[in-house]
Each structure stands twice: as structure tokens, then as C-alpha cells.
Amino acid sequence: MKKNLINSVVKQHNSWRTWQLENVLTWDHNFGESHHLTLTGGTTALENGFEYSGGANTNLPSNDPDDAYISNTIDPIASQSAYGGADESSLLSVFGRANYEFNQKYLFSAALRADGSSRFGPNNRYGYFPSVSAGWIISEEAFWGSKALEFLKIRASWGQNGNDRIGNYGFTSVVLSGQNYTFGPGQIITNGSVPLTVANPDLRWETITQTDLGFDATFFNGRLSWTSDFYLKNTSGMLYAAPIPLTVGANPPVRNIASVKNTGWETDVQYRNRSGAFKYSVGGNFSAVKNEVTGLGEGGEPVFAGRVQSANASVTKTEVGQPIGAYFGYVTDGIFQTRQEVADHAFQNENTAPGDIRFKDLNGDGVVNTDDQTYIGNPIPDFTYGFNADVEWKGFDLGIFLQGAQGNDLYNATVRYDFTYVNRPVSVLNRWTGPGTSNSEPRVNLSDPNQNARVSDRFVENGSYLRLKNVQLGYSLPKSLLQRIGFEKFRVYVSGQNMFTFTRYTGMDPEIGSYGGALAAGIDRGFYPQARVLLGGINALF
């Protein structure tokens, strides 16, 4: 337990403010029996602000919280400190849209919006994003005669939207105080101010352009519905603070550095039977996507991200022609069992010994170094999916929802191999202790001369999973009994979240998200797992 010999007091005041103003004007008119036109226009204005201020002091004469005032100290007034700051952003948008419908079966729409954000400089403050779409309800045509397929609509769309979620003031240099330095022959510490981030006055909107082809269909009097979409999504001018040489002496600026292409398919099928005593509905959804980096700006230099401390290196490499944020490192080839195996293999380290990991010499030059690194995993799933079911029978109801992902990799960085005092995974009990004892778990060596903890496929695991996300079982009292007790509704239920997860991943939770952004997705640094929650309750209506 840490003991503070000198007490202290800190007081801070935070203030947030937000205002939003929206104006929408709609004109709707029918021209005869066949033409329907709707025009919509409007504006949106939004401003967010944050201010904070505070002060601190030390060596108060009393430890009573009621006496904790910044001015109540036995130290000189010079010991008091004060700080403060502010942050603000604003957005102004103007938009217009036209919807046209002919004979209730031919549909057309066009829209244009102009968005201005304070997060970009005067050079590129506004972005302009158009979109168009068209639909055809084939089942409304006179020639349509299918009774099973009662509704069929095909549609196509093309549109653009923008992204400005990069934080504030990236287009200019923000000078920050508190950057102390020594000055003069006495090396006196002096309070200084300096811009810590390089400015980018040409910063502009990230633009997402998407083309979509799809259809909606219903069968058997609405019991079966099917929706499907094929899309091509191109992101240009992707915003990211790519690393710059340390010699610059400042943090990297946010830049429009990349373009990415996503090609995918999404579909959803639902079946409902709501007649009779036994009512049910079942359904599922499926989404597949292929991701590829198509550009990295001038020079096209790869971007490394997702640094992990144990390896003292980045895990991901984003390069043209590869998926965004793909894992990049060494390929393992078992464990050295004897000194002769070490001698016969490509040189890794002068202290490499039996029990260390054998890394592949991919280029065959007799030395294992950075030239032997390659792509070792992809955090993007081949597809994601879900299932849902609801059943009702004689007052009982049951709802189930499952979700899953297939084909993605996770980088398990939950263990700090660079620390000597942290726990190790249970697999260390099966570590190499002599020839033939293990060909997967290396020897334990606190100095790690062979760099067994370097970024490699040793830490890449299959991240596929299927999870019972939600389940709920309930019972509602029948109407005859409700009338006797004076209730309109009375239902008891039990529910559970994250009840079961089927996965080969050895970490705590395969559903870890993308902390650090798309360029560092799927790196598990020890995320707290999603809790398994059991609930019970009563719904009563008088």
C-alpha cells in the first residue's frame, strides 16, 4: 500500500454545451392519378463545446475533507497550480431531396447535401455529397401472375457521404502549455509552450461512395420475406494520423492517406406464422465482404499500426492490394530440440538455444530478419451471420438470438512477455524442458534472447465464433384469469445475455471489436469480456 506523507487537494470544473437547430420544408403533390412528387429541403446547424478549469495545492493543515480548499495550505502561495482549457466543434448542413413515383410502381429519388465542418480548414471546409436511386415494383405490373411471390421490388442506388470524425483542430497548429524546459546557466526550469502536432491545412472530408443493387420479396401472403443487397463501397481520402519520422519532433498530422474498396453481399430471410394457437417466426441474416486497400496516397508507403509492447513492434501492415490492417510478422516452424538443429537452421540470434522457436527463413538467405516477415492473418471475417426465433404457445413465449463471425483472425496479445512479474497462460505448463517435450510452447527465459515474443503467427488465432446472444422465456396469464384479478396484462420472464459462446479462440472473448481503428482491429490486449447476464422480471399492467 502506498502512503502519501503530504496531503493534497484538487478541484476541477467541467462544462459542456450543445445546441442544434433543424429546419425542414416538405412539398407533396399528386399530378393526376399516376404522378406523385415530394420535395424536401432543409438545414441543420450543430455546435458542441467543452470547457474545464481547475486548481491544486499541497500540504493542507487538516485531513478533514470539509477543510479541503485550494487556498487552505501552509505552503507558500506559489505552490498553488491552476489549469484550464476548451474544445469546440460545429457543423452546418444544407440538404435537398426529390422523390418521384409513377403509377405506384416506378420509383425515383435524388438528393444533394452540403456539409461544412469546423474540423477542416478554410481550404476544404465543405463537402458535397449527391445520391440517386431507382426502384421497380415488378409485382404491380399487369403481366405479373404469380400468387406465391406476391411482392417483388428491385432497386439500385448510388450515393456519397462524408466522414469528419477526427477530433478538432487537425488543420492547424494548437499550441499547448506545460512543456517545461531548462534555461540559462542555472538550468532553471521554465514553463514553455509548443505546437505538439503538425498542422495539415489541406485536410478534407473522407468520402464514401457506394453502389447498391438489391431486391425485396414477400411470399405466401407475407409469411416469407427475403431482402438481399449487393454493394460496392469505395472510401477515398481516408483520414488517419499516419506515423512520421521521430526527427520531426511532433505528433503526426491527420491526413487523407488511403482509399479502400469493399465488395459485399447482405441478405435477410424471415418466416412468420401468426395464426392459430402455435405462433412462431424464424429468420436469419448473412453478410459477406471482401476488403482491399486500393491506394495510400503519394508514394504509396505501407502504414504500420497496432503496436504491442511485448514485441515492441507493430502487428498490422496496411498495403495496397491487401486487406486493411492485416497482420504482418514471422512464420513459426516448431521448436529447436537440439543444438544441432540450431546450427543447421538459418541464423536467428547468437544466443538462440534448444527450446527456442524456429522461425522460417522465407527468402532463403540463411538469416532470419525483417526480410522474412509476411502476412500472417486477416482480422476481417469472411462473413458474419445471425439467427432469430420467436415462439408463442398457450401463454408461453420464447425468443432466441444467435450471432457469429467466420473466417477472421485475432492477435492474442493478452500476455506481457516483456514483464517478469506477470502471469503466463496455462500453456506454459507444457513448455519445452528438454528434447521431445514440446514442439509448440518454447522454453521459459526471462531475457528472451531469441525474441520468441516477436510478432509472429504464434499469437494469431482463429477468431470465428457463434454466440447465444439473447434468450428469453416468459409466461403471460390468460385473459380469463386477468379479469378476475383486475389486471390487463401480467407476464413473468427470465432472460439471459451472452449465455454460450462456441469458439476455438483461447482468449477471454472473441468479440473484441476494433480498438485503435480499422488499421489495428482484432488485437486483443486483454479486453474485459462481455458479461453473462441473467435477469428475471415481471411485467404488469393495471
* CA 349 and chain centroid, separation: 38
Question: Roughly how many angstroms between the first and final C-alpha of the chain, as a whole number?
Answer: 55
Task: State how far the Cα of 411 lies from the Cα of 24, in Å rounded to an integer.
Answer: 48
On the question of pLDDT at 105 being above 80, the answer is yes
On the question of pLDDT at 1 being above 60, the answer is no
For residue 323, which phi and psi values (nearest 5 degrees)? -65, 150
Q: 306-342: per-residue pLDDT in tens?
A: 999 889 999 999 999 999 999 999 999 999 999 999 9
Q: What is the pTM of this model?
A: 0.85
Q: 245-281: per-residue pLDDT in tens?
A: 777 778 888 888 889 999 999 999 999 998 888 999 9
Looking at residue 190, its pLDDT comes to: 79
Task: State how far the Cα of 108 lies from the Cα of 97, in Å rounded to an integer.
Answer: 11
* CA 503 and chain centroid, separation: 20
Under a CB-based contact definition with an 8 Å cutoff, are residues 163 and 208 in contact?
Answer: yes
On the question of pLDDT at 298 being above 80, the answer is no
Largest CA distance in the chain: 96
The DSSP-derived string for 19-54 is EEEEEEEEEEEEETTTEEEEEEEEEEEEEEEEEEEE
Task: State how far the Cα of 514 lies from the Cα of 523, in Å rounded to an integer.
Answer: 8
Under a CB-based contact definition with an 8 Å cutoff, are residues 118 and 169 in contact?
Answer: no
Q: 439-494: per-residue pLDDT in tens?
A: 999 999 888 999 999 999 999 999 999 999 999 999 988 888 877 777 888 899 99
Q: 192-240: per-residue pLDDT in tens?
A: 888 888 888 889 999 999 999 999 999 998 899 999 999 999 999 888 8
Grid coordinates of 494: 427470465
* Backbone φ/ψ region at 113: left (φ over 0), alpha (ψ -120 to 50), beta: beta
Grid coordinates of 356: 527456442
- According to DSSP, residue 453 is labeled T
SS3 428: helix
